[in-house]
Amino acid sequence: MSAAPIDEVDVSLGKLEKILKSDVAAAQQQIEAMKPRIGSFTSEQAARLLIASAISKIFSGDFEEALSFLDKAETKANAPQYLSQIYNYRATCLIGLRRYRDALLVMGRNLALLEKVDDPVEKRDSYFRIANLYDELEAYDEMGLYASRILDLAESEKDTKAYCYGIFLLAMSQNGRGMLKQAQEGFQNGLSYCSEHGYLLMIAMINKGLGDTVRQLGDNRAAQRYFRTALAQYQQFHFATEIVSTSAMLAQVDLALGDEQEAESMAMEVLSDSGSSYTAARRDALKVMAEIVANRDDFAKAYDYQKQYLDLNDKLFDESRVKALAYQAAHFSANEREQELKLLNKERELLLTRGMLREKEHNNMVTFASLLSVAMLMLVAFSYWGWQQKQRFMKLSRQDQLTGIYNRATVQMMGDNQFVQAMRRDAHFSLMLFDLDNFKQINDNFGFGCGDWAICRVVESVQAELSRKHIFARMGGEEFVIIMPDVDAAAAIALAEQIRQVIAAISSNRSGHQFVITASFGVSSRTPVDLSLEPLINRADKALHQAKLSGRNRVCMTPEVVADVPDVEEVLSN
C-alpha cells in the first residue's frame, strides 16, 4: 500500500480536530472514514487520529473505550505536545471511572512533561483540562491556580480562547468556594466575551455554571432559563455526560417552580441512561421523582425512589472521601519524594566532605562526628515529619457518615475555637441542643431504615433554616447541636422555636409509614464567667432534660437565657 500524501492527511486531521469542537456526530463519521487508511499514516498522524477517536468516546461517556485508544496513541506519539494531550484525556477517563489516585498520578506526569512543551496553545489546553480535573476532585483552590495561569498566558500571547477559558474556570472555582456573587459576575463576563468570539462549547459550559450559581442564590426562574439554554447547546455537541448532568439540574429547578410534568420528563431522561459516570445526576433525579410521586399519594413508589436516592447518596459520600484521600495521598507522596531527594543530596554532600576531611587528619574525628550528628538529626526530623503526615490521614473524616453534617469530635474542636474568639471580642455566643422525641419507637415499629430516613429528613429540614455562621453537628444517635456565634439569647430562642416548628411539620408520608416527628430543645448562652464551651453544653443539656420532663416538643432555656430575655413568652409565640 502506498503512503498517503502527508499534506492531505494533515489537512484532514486538522479539519477533524476542528469539527470535534462543534459537531461530535460528524467527527465520528470522519474518524470511521479515515480508520481504514491508518496503516499508511506516519506515527504522528496515527497518534492524532487515535486521540481524536478517544475524545469522541469521552463525549459519549465510554471511558474504557477511550482509554484503549489513548493507550494505542501513546505507542505512536513522540512529541511532548501529543503525549501531554494523551495524559490529560487519560486523567479525564480515570476520573470518569472513579480511579482518582491513578488520575492524580497521570496529572503529575503531565505537569512534568509540560516543562518541555514550548507551544503556548498546548500549555493553555493542558492547563484547562487539568483545572477541570481539579473541579471533578472538588479541589477548587488548585482549580483557581490554573485559571490564573491560563489568564497569564492569555495576556502574554493575546489569546482570546485562553481568556475565555480562564474567566470560566475562575468563576467555577469561586462557585465551588461559595463566592457566589463573584462567580455570577465572572460567568456573565465570560458569557459576553466567549459569545463575542464564537466559542460554542464554552458558552454551553458557562450557561450551565450560571444556572448552578443563580440557583444557589435562590433565583430558580433564571436558573431554569440558563439550564435549558445549556442543554440545547450540549445536545448539538452530543455531549452525553453534560446532557445528563444538566438534565438532572433542570429537573430540580422545574420541580422547585411547580412544573412537575417537565421535572418528571427531565428526571426520567436521566434515569433512562445507565452510564457509570452519572451517579450524581441519577441521585438528584431519584430525589425529584420521590417528591413527585409522593405528591400523587403513591407512597410505595416514593419510598422506593427515596431508598434508591439514599443508597446513591451514601455511595457519593464515600466517593467524596475517596477523592479527598486520593488527593491528600498524592500530595503526601509528592512531598515525601521531595524530602527523600533533599536527604539524598545531604548524604552526598556528607560523603564529599568526609573525603576532604581525610586530607586533614588533625581535625578529622571532630568534624566527622559533627557532620554525622547533623545527618542523624535530619533523619530523625524527617522521620518525625513523616509520622506527623501519616497521623493526619487518621483525622480526615470530619463528617457524620449518615447525614453528612459534622460529627461530635469536629464540632467540639470548631466550637472551642469559635468560643475563644467570642471571648476575645466579648461577643454574643449561644448553643442549642435538641433531641428527637420517642425516636426509639420509630426504630422499633418501622425498622432502622425508617429511623435513618427520619434523621436525614430532620437534618435536611434544619439545614434550610441555618446560615453559614451556624455550626450544625450530630452528637450521636438522635441528638444534635447547633453552635451560634454572634447570636444573642433572644435570637437563639427564636431560632430554636422556628426549628422546633419545622421538625414538627415534617410529613412521614414519603417514608411509607405514618408517624410524627418532634424534638425537645435546650438553649444556653455565654456568660462573663464562662471560660470554655463545656459549661454551655452542660447547661443546655439540663435545659433539654427539663424540656423532656415538661412534656417534650418544646424549647427550654437555662437561667441566664431567661434573665437576658424578659419577654420569653413573646419570643416563643413569635
Determine the average pLDDT of the residues in 227-242.
Answer: 88
pLDDT recorded at residue 313: 78
Report which of residues 403 and 360 the model is more confident about: 403
Angle at 26 between CA 22 and CA 30, to 5 degrees: 120
User: Is 80 exceeded by the pLDDT of residue 497?
Assistant: yes
The string of pLDDT tens digits covering residues 505-521 is 999 888 788 999 999 99
pLDDT value at residue 432: 96
Report the interhelical angle of 200-216 vs 160-176 (nearest 10°).
20
* Average pLDDT rounded to a whole number, residues 358-387: 62
Alpha helices for 358-463 (secondary structure H): 364-393, 408-425, 439-446, 448-463
> 347 or 140, which is more confident?
140
Specify the pLDDT at position 338: 44
Spatial distance between the Cα atoms of 535 and 357, rounded to a whole number of angstroms: 65
* pTM of the predicted model as reported, rounded to 2 decimal places: 0.49
Most confident of the ranges 105-109, 417-421, 497-501, 532-536: 497-501
pLDDT in tens, 391-448: 555 445 678 889 999 999 888 899 999 999 999 999 999 999 999 999 999 999 988 8
Task: Tell me the average pLDDT across 25-35.
Answer: 88
pLDDT computed for residue 375 by the predictor: 62
* Rounded (5°) CA angle 314-320-322: 105
Q: Please state, in angstroms and as integers, the Cα–Cα distance from residue 170 to each residue in 40, 137, 149, 177, 430, following that order.
A: 43, 16, 10, 11, 37
507 CB burial (10 A radius; 0-12, 13-18, 19+): exposed
| Per-residue pLDDT, 343 | 46
Query: Which amino acid is it at 202?
Result: M
Q: What is the pLDDT of residue 377?
A: 73
* Least confident interval from 238-247, 303-312, 351-360: 351-360
Spatial CA neighbour of 529 closest among 494, 560, 558 = 560
Q: Which amino acid is at 364?
A: N
List pLDDT tens digits, range 520-532: 999 999 998 888 8
Q: What is the pLDDT of residue 1?
A: 42
pLDDT digits (tens, 9 = 90+) for 160-213: 988 998 889 999 999 988 899 999 999 999 999 999 988 888 899 999 999 999
Task: Tell me the C-alpha distance between 542 and 466, whole Å.
Answer: 24
Above 60 in pLDDT, residue 480? yes
Pairing status of strand 519-525 against strand 555-557: parallel
- Residue 210 to residue 247: CA distance in whole angstroms: 15
In this prediction, residue 571 has a pLDDT band, given cuts at 50, 70 and 90, of low
**Average confidence (pLDDT) over 224-242:** 89
According to the model, what pLDDT value does residue 337 have? 43
Percentage of residues in the chain having pLDDT higher than 70: 81
Lowest mean pLDDT among 35-39, 147-151, 153-157, 378-382: 378-382
Catalytic residue among 122, 242, 478, 560: 478
What gap in Å lies between CA 273 and CA 555, rounded to an integer? 48
Sorted by sequence, the CB contacts under 8 Å of residue 371 that are 6+ apart come out as 350, 353, 354
475 C-beta neighbours (distance < 10 Å), count: 19
pLDDT tops 50 at residue 464: yes
State the pLDDT confidence band at 339, using cuts at 50, 70 and 90: very low
Q: What is the CB neighbour count within 10 angstroms for residue 387?
A: 9
Between residues 508 and 320, the one the model is more confident about: 508
Task: Give the separation between CA 532 and CA 94, rounded to whole angstroms.
Answer: 47
HEC string for 243-263: HHHHHHHHHHHHHHCCCHHHH
Q: What percent of the chain has pLDDT over 90?
A: 36
Q: What is the mean pLDDT of residues 20-36?
A: 85
User: 253 pLDDT exceeds 80?
Assistant: yes
pLDDT classification of 142: cutoffs 50, 70, 90? confident
Helix (H, G, I), strand (E, B) or coil at 99: coil
Is residue 243 pLDDT above 80, yes or no?
yes
Sheet holding 555-557, edge to edge: 471-476, 479-485, 429-436, 519-525, 555-557
On average, the pLDDT of the chain sits at 82
Does residue 433 sit in helix, strand or coil? strand
Instruction: Note the pLDDT of residue 511.
Output: 77
Q: Is 478 a catalytic residue?
A: yes
